[in-house]
Every structure is written in C-alpha cells, then in structure tokens.
C-alpha cells in the first residue's frame, strides 16, 4: 500500500473533477436506434450499411414497429436512417 500512497491525492482531485462534470452534465439514458444513423456528411457506403438488409415484404412483421414496442427502448430516435435530420 505504501507505494500507492502518493497517488491518493491525485485520485481525489480526479474524482472531484469527475463529480463536478457529472453535476454540470448529468447522466442520461442511452439513445437507442439502428447503427450508423445520424452521421453528417456520410459516405454512400455508410448510408448503404445503415439500411435494413432484409426484404420487409418477406417477413411477417415490421422490425421498426417491433423496436418501438420494446420496453427498454422508450427513448428511441425514430428517424430511421443515416443522414436524416
């Protein structure tokens, strides 16, 4: 424990700074959405990768509607696409 004794003060300063930042910018729930969405100036490859890769006509449900009804995803951004604002 003695070799770590000098770092205790530095840790306390870091912890205090962290707590001040948390007061200024409090935690919020993570935003949920499809990946690669909302990227400004996205390349065409990125836009293509952000699209749903299944034929929606061939499946018996809408994946977007399913995601909207998930209880853990109440704060979902439903823009549904990269580059959309």
Domain-by-domain residue ranges, the chain? Answer: 33-85
pLDDT of 82 reads 47
Among 83, 85, 84, 79, which Cα is nearest to 33's? Answer: 79
Whole-structure pTM value: 0.41
Straight-line distance from the first to the last Cα atom of the chain, in angstroms, rounded to the nearest whole number: 53
Beta carbons of 35 and 50 less than 8 angstroms apart: yes
Instruction: Provide the β-strand partners of residue 76.
Output: 32
Q: What percentage of the chain exceeds 90 in pLDDT?
A: 21
Quickly state the pLDDT bin for 68 (edges 50, 70, 90): confident
Beta carbons of 70 and 64 less than 8 angstroms apart: no
């Amino acid at each position: 424990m003695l070799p770590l004794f000098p770092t205790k003060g530095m840790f306390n300063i870091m912890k205090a700074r962290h707590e001040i930042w948390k007061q200024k910018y409090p935690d919020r729930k993570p935003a949920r959405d499809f990946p690669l969405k909302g990227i400004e100036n996205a390349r065409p490859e990125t836009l293509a990768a952000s699209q749903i890769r299944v034929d929606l006509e061939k499946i018996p449900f809408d994946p977007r509607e399913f995601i909207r009804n998930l209880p853990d995803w109440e704060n979902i951004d439903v823009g549904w696409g990269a580059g959309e604002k």
